[in-house]
Structure 1
Amino acid sequence: MSGRDVILGRVRRALADVTPDGTPYEAALPRDYLGEHGERSLARTVELLAENLADYRALVHRCAGVPELSALIAGLLAGRGARSVLVPPGLDGAWLADTGAEVTRVADEAASTAAELDRVDSVVTGCAVAVAETGTLVLDGSPDQGRRRITLIPDHHICVVRVPEQVVGSVPQAVARLDPRRPLTWISGPSATSDIELNRVEGVHGPRTLEVVLLGDA
C-alpha cells in the first residue's frame, strides 16, 4: 500500500459519517469580501499598474498601436543585442514586423530542451491579465503566451499588455477572469531572490530582465 492510499483511506474514514451536501462549491461559502481597495478611474488603475511594475524593477513602455509596438519591440531586441527571439504560436505576427532578418525567430516547440531554450536571447508574449494593485502579470498558456517554460528560461522577457481590456485593479478581479484549469504563471517583476544577508540576485528562477509594454490608451 502506497502513502497515497494510506492518506486517502484516512480521508474516507474521516468523512464516513458526514452527510453529503449537494451545494455547489461556488455557493458553499459567502464571498462578500472587498474586491478592490478604494475607487479608481481606469486611467489611475493603469498608472498604478505601471508604478508597481516599475517598483518591482520591470521596465515599462507605452505605445498606442500595433505599428508603434512593432518598432518598439524591434528596438528593445536591438538594445539587448538579441540574435534570437522565442515566438509563441499565436503571437500576432504584426508585433514583430519591424524585427530585422538578423534576429532569428524560434518557434515554441514541445521538443525543445531546456538547454536549447537557454540559448535563446529573448521571448515576446502577450498576457491573460495584469493586476494593478500588485504589479502582477498573469499568463495562462494561451496561444499568444506559449508554454510556461518559454517565459522562465530565456534571460529577457517582453510582455505586451492590452490596455484597458487586460488590466484589472485587484487580485480577486483577476481570479474571476481566469480559468483555474489552465497553467497559470503569476509574474511580479523579473525573477529575484535574496540570501540571508538580503543580497538580491536576479535571474535565478526566470528572466533577469522583464520589459512590459502597455499597448493602447487608458
Structure 2
Amino acid sequence: MSSRDEVLGRVRRALADVPGGERPERVPVRRDYRRVHGSRTAEETVELLAENLADYRAVVHRSDTEGLAVLIRTLLARRGARTVAVPQGLEPWWMAAADAALVEDRAATTARELDTVDSVVTGCAVAVAETGTLVLDAGPDQGRRRITLVPDHHLCVVRVPDQVVGSVPEALARLDPRRPLTWISGPSATSDIELDRVEGVHGPRTLEVILLTGGGAGPLPSR
C-alpha cells in the first residue's frame, strides 16, 4: 500500500458516518470557546500589546497627533531612509515632515522596484494585545500586501485604543475574511535546524510600531 492509499483510507474511515448528501455549510460549528481571557481596561490592553510587540523584537514608540509627523521623520532619518513606500490612502499629514522621497503604492510597481525602497509606512486594521500581532487588510492606509513584505523596514501606526483588541477571536469579529489579511507578529524571522535566528527572510527585517493616541486629523508641522 502506498502512502497515498494509506492517507485516503484514513479519510474514508473518518467520513464513514457522514451522510452522503451532507454539505459542510449545513452543519453548525460550535464556537463556544472563550472570546476574552481575563478582565482588562482599555489602557491595560494597550500596555499588553506594547509588551508583546517588544517581546517579538518590534520597536515600540508612542505619539499623539501633534508629534506623529515629526516622529515619523525622525525614525526614517535614523534608518537613513531615502525612499519610502506609502499607501494611496495614507493620511497626508503623517508624512508632512518626512525628508525622504515618497513612493506611491501602484499596481504596476514590481517586486524588484520595491526591493530598492528603504522603508514603508502604513496604518493597520486591528492589533491583538495577547499575541502582539498587527493585522493588515489592504485598507486605504495599508495598501497592497507586497509593499509591507518587500522593503526591509516597516513603520506601522496603530490608533490606540480604538484599533486594539485583547484576543484573536475579537480581532476576527472586526475583519472581513474576504479581504487579503496579513498577520504580523514581529519582524520577519526564521530559524534553521540549529536554531540560528535569521531575520528578513520573508518580510521586513525591522518592524517599528507607533501607538498613536488621538488618531484624528492632525496638524501640518513646520520643518
What's the counterpart of residue 218 of structure 2? none
Distance 1:17 1:147 in 2: 42
What's the counterpart of residue 54 of structure 1? 54
Aligned-residue RMSD, C-alpha? 2.0
152 and 197 in structure 1: CA distance in 2 versus 1, 3 angstrom threshold: same
What's the counterpart of residue 210 of structure 2? 213
Superposed displacement of residue 53, structure 1: 0.2
Counterpart residue identity of residue 106, structure 1: V
What's the counterpart of residue 71 of structure 1? 70
What's the counterpart of residue 4 of structure 1? none
> How many residues end up aligned between the 2 structures?
201
Counterpart residue identity of residue 53, structure 2: L
What's the counterpart of residue 137 of structure 2? 140
1:47-88 Cα offsets, whole Å, 9 max, x none, are 0000000000000000122x3110000000000000000010
What's the counterpart of residue 36 of structure 1? 36
What's the counterpart of residue 117 of structure 1? 114
Superposed displacement of residue 35, structure 1: 0.6
Distance 2:25 2:105 in 1: 43
Distance 1:190 1:18 in 2: 46
Superposed displacement of residue 202, structure 1: 0.4
1:186-205 matched pairs, under 5 angstroms: 186-205=183-202
Counterpart residue identity of residue 162, structure 2: E
What's the counterpart of residue 164 of structure 1? 161
Superposed displacement of residue 16, structure 1: 8.0
2:126 equivalent to 1:129: yes
Counterpart residue identity of residue 190, structure 1: P
What's the counterpart of residue 96 of structure 1? 95
22 and 47 in structure 1: CA distance in 2 versus 1, 3 angstrom threshold: closer
Distance 1:81 1:195 in 2: 30
Between the two proteins, what is the percent identity of the paired residues?
A: 69
Counterpart residue identity of residue 95, structure 2: L
The partner residue of 1:106 within 81, 98, 103 is 103
Superposed displacement of residue 17, structure 1: 3.0
22 and 74 in structure 1: CA distance in 2 versus 1, 3 angstrom threshold: closer
Distance 2:24 2:160 in 1: 43
